[in-house]
Amino acid sequence: MDWREEQNQSLVPVLSKKNNQSTEVNSTSFACKDIPNLLSSFVDTFVDFSVSGLFLPPPPPTMTSKPPTRLPSSPRLIAIGDLHGDFNKTKQALRLAGIIDSSDRYIGGSTTVVQVGDILDRGGRELKILYILEKLKREAARCGGRIITMNGNHEIMNVEGDFRYATKAGVKEFRVWLEWFRQGNMMKSLCHGLKPPKDPLEGIHVEFSGVRKKFHDGLSARVAALRPNGPISGRFLSHNATVLVVGDSIFVHGGLLPEHVTYGLEKINAEVSDWVKGSTVCRFPPPCCRGSNAVVWFKKFSENVEANCDFSILDHVLDMIPGVKRMIMGHKIQKNGINGVWDNKAIRIDVGMSKRCHGALPEVLEINETSGLRILTLYSHRIIYNRRKGKLLRDLMLESRKGLCCLV
């Protein structure tokens, strides 16, 4: 049964048949008790659709609000790099990975997808991406799959109120969101039985010095949406993982150091999640997300010149996490595309696909139980593994090439 049918059936009063007569069960209770909540749900759906153009299916009971830290290996694992507000490239990457069809419906089956953060900033359709990924998370959970989003440095910056990389289009998108959100709150306030909704701008007193006045409303909306326990941060970002182990791979936006592992991966995830939820009094992010050596900022394993990378530290980190063979990270643009170095112990997947970054064609990493590591590109899905150099190399399948060249 389709989830829409389930939802429609749940709105119909239950009828029971006894002695060939239909009697409505608890009709008075249904009208008095359930209508306010049904109205609230309807308004939320109306606002969501007005902002995103999407109807979100109800979350299945298997979904949890706690960010995952360790997951078992998956027969098919997909890793997607930084998206930075480019909605079209996001969908291209998902289609390239076989996660959505041409109508943006989930078709990934039991695949596990990890997006390593930096959905926000630089582009102008950040909310669109958050909404479609939330929709796909719910659809995937019903199909035995899983989609996990992670915190990047730009998620941390925005929750903290640092909007230096927000674009005009991004500011406008949040201003429009606030208009619809307030319309929804006004509709809820007319219903007796619902707690009067809180104005999202309540308690916000921010001066945007040096910014033209026409952008102030949009920036105020962005503060309201993304501050700790904001309507957008609490809903879409508080469940993000900051570090994640899936099978024999560990994912992080920037990089992990030995002190991070010693501190505790579960503790890092819990502290960042609590901060985004507004459960802590500190306005600043946890220490693991501050400074150049933070898990979302560290770049020493992603430098384009291998001589600048300290892989002895990487070896130490991987040795500290039982069963883990490789670290997969984003954050620093790899202008030559996804690549693996140091015998594929460090795999860098940020290709700068957003048009406001490098504007590269989408690429995604696939880890398959049968075919191993592959880079999926718009040119070809076939990758040659160079065992001698320990790198992932592309086979662009040029028309002049006949067959595959084996590099061993």
Beta-strand pair 372-377/363-368 = antiparallel
**For 107-132, what is each residue's pLDDT tens digit?**
999 999 999 999 999 999 999 999 99
**Could you tell me the pLDDT band of residue 20, with boundaries at 50, 70 and 90?**
very low
**Could you tell me the pLDDT band of residue 398, with boundaries at 50, 70 and 90?**
very low
pLDDT higher than 80, residue 241:
yes
When comparing pLDDT for 38 and 222, which is higher? 222
What pLDDT score does 2 carry?
56
| Whole-structure pTM value | 0.85
Mean pLDDT of the chain: 86
User: Of 109, 129, 110, whose CA–CA distance to 119 is shortest?
Assistant: 129
2: burial class by Cβ within 10 Å (0-12, 13-18, 19+)? exposed
- The answer to which of 107-116, 133-142, 378-387 has the lowest mean pLDDT is 378-387
**For 66-96, what is each residue's pLDDT tens digit?**
899 999 999 999 999 999 999 999 999 999 9
To the question of domain 70-161+227-394 being in CATH 3.60.21.10, the answer is yes
**Could you tell me the pLDDT band of residue 1, with boundaries at 50, 70 and 90?**
low
pLDDT higher than 70, residue 40:
yes
Catalytic residue among 84, 154, 239, 331: 154
**Could you tell me the pLDDT band of residue 354, with boundaries at 50, 70 and 90?**
very high
**For 152-180, what is each residue's pLDDT tens digit?**
999 999 999 999 999 999 999 999 999 99
What pLDDT score does 406 carry?
23
**Could you tell me the pLDDT band of residue 31, with boundaries at 50, 70 and 90?**
low
Contact residues for 379 (Cβ-Cβ < 8 A; gap 6+): 394, 396, 397
**For 274-328, what is each residue's pLDDT tens digit?**
999 999 888 899 999 999 999 999 999 998 777 777 889 999 999 999 999 999 9
154 is catalytic: yes
pLDDT higher than 70, residue 399:
no
Q: Where are the domains of the chain?
A: 30-56+162-226, 70-161+227-394
